[in-house]
Structure 1
């Protein structure tokens, strides 16, 4: 029995943890060969070693803010696996909902530069490095978006602006790269991952997973309808498989699938409010 991605080759940025790792594992399970890209080769190699089929997963250390490193990752992928069918632009950081009124001017400026360089520029540079190979394969790009690409309070102003920018970037590239390359997105809700924060706010060592673990046992569930199924990154991977598969989603481009646990039908909370002035 073959999977939906049998014979495909994918490159996933931010593939060493969180949703990137979950997508990489799912792609391998669906028959694909995968290159995972990230900072920290040791961690990436641990992911490869733990894969269901290490022969079909390859680790490349690269910073998504460095175009030369991304071009090298694409070239290494093609050299090793023979082609590239799918780019999953995924590497990102979160601002831990730091609001405008809680940031100094310098913190705001530095955080903006860092978050946009990774969350937006990193996607654009990855697409620039990959598009010629994707044209050759009639492949696709799948971007990790967010509930913050559509709704407020999924982060602070910097993160929310970055994810709105990613939505626009996805749509623009879908227009520019048609008809040979499809470009879509998966707008994820909150999940239990090792998502880190900006170095500019000294949050680079803070893990979202640790925050999940510290929640009191009797704490109320998140104010979203499907809260019980919105924490494990593996729950979000099916949409990536669908969008990567040309056989299953060939006519689809410029679209974002919201996998947010139902935030879109009710919002983040049942009552108005928040941490206002």
Structure 2
């Protein structure tokens, strides 16, 4: 039996079937929580639960975060299964693979903008809309997966960077609107070996960050961040989520983003201009 920081907590995680979302779900269960995982891939969800060894701690919902009715159903299913909802982790997202403006046609830009913002921003907002009444009842919290791209450029292209800046503003606005009953915070992660996919609009949905990391050999130079040996394992990014979820540990914290990025914020300028090749 767990004696972790989240003993007795009930959590809903979007995009929890793989990568960082899966790592957070498994860490929350290890800390004593019960977890509902929302993901579009039923086979992936089933495989995760079967491999967990604690299937009674998990509930799975196959849904798209762009569908508000499905998210409301996921919240209701969580309360029905576990009796309440303490924490929403808004995590599902897509990356633009640093596709710069000058490498996008007008049609690609139009379609990819709608897709990236509907998943990365609208998906968070719809999840919060579905969850807030239950979170008010438990004096719970929302944790949003942010990014170094929520603060700095070149962590993505203009579409991803703009979407993650928007998520930072959304987190801060909801922290104000839902106080004092619900705390809202974020975890701004750096690059990691995860199954983050690209947008279908750019035919990048079959590619993941894991593919890029798999190509890095033993002779690859250290990443250009202050902590050269900073881990890329999603499991090593989960501690901040536990901290922010545990009201006994972070009760006075709201409207804040914890940066877990290997020190990117103190790196300085790697390059003076991104358009020298134009």
TM range (shorter): over 0.9
Tell me the SS of whatever aligns to 2:88: strand
Q: How does 1:1-277 map to 2 (within 5 A)?
A: 2-267=3-268, 270-274=270-274, 276=276, 277=278
Work out whether residues 40 and 61 of structure 1, in 8 Å CA contact, stay in contact via their aligned partners in 2: yes
| Distance (whole Å) between structure 2 residues aligned to residue 271 and residue 226 of structure 1 | 19
How many residue pairs end up in the alignment? 276
C-alpha displacement of 1:228: 2.0
Segment drifting more, 218-227 vs 253-262: 218-227
Could you tell me whether the CA contact under 8 Å between 1:189 and 1:230 is conserved in 2? no
Distance 2:213 2:130 in 1: 35
Looking at structure 1, the residues matched to 161 and 33 of structure 2 have their Cα atoms a distance apart, in angstroms, of 32
- Residue deviations 1:13-32, cap 9 Å, x none? 00001110000000000000
Whether the aligned pair in 2 keeps the contact of 1:230 and 1:260 (CA below 8 Å) is: no
Instruction: After TM superposition, give the deviation of residue 45 of structure 1 in Å.
Output: 1.2
1:217 positional shift: 2.9
C-alpha distance after superposition, 1:84-142 (max 9, x if no partner) = 00000000000000000000001011110000000000000000000000001000000
What's the RMSD between the two structures over aligned residues? Answer: 1.1
Aligned 8 A contact 1:190 1:230 in 2: no
Unaligned segments of structure 1, at least 5 residues: none
- CA–CA distance in 2 between the matches of 1:229 and 1:81? 36
Structure 2 gap ranges (5+):
none
Cα deviation, residue 271, structure 1:
4.3
Q: Is the 8 A contact 1:29 1:52 kept in 2?
A: no
Runs of 4+ deviating beyond 3 Å: 269-276
Q: Give me the TM-score of the superposition, normalised by structure 2.
A: 0.97
Alignment partners' CA distance in 1, 2:21 and 2:139: 23
* 2-structure distance, mates of 1:271, 1:154: 13
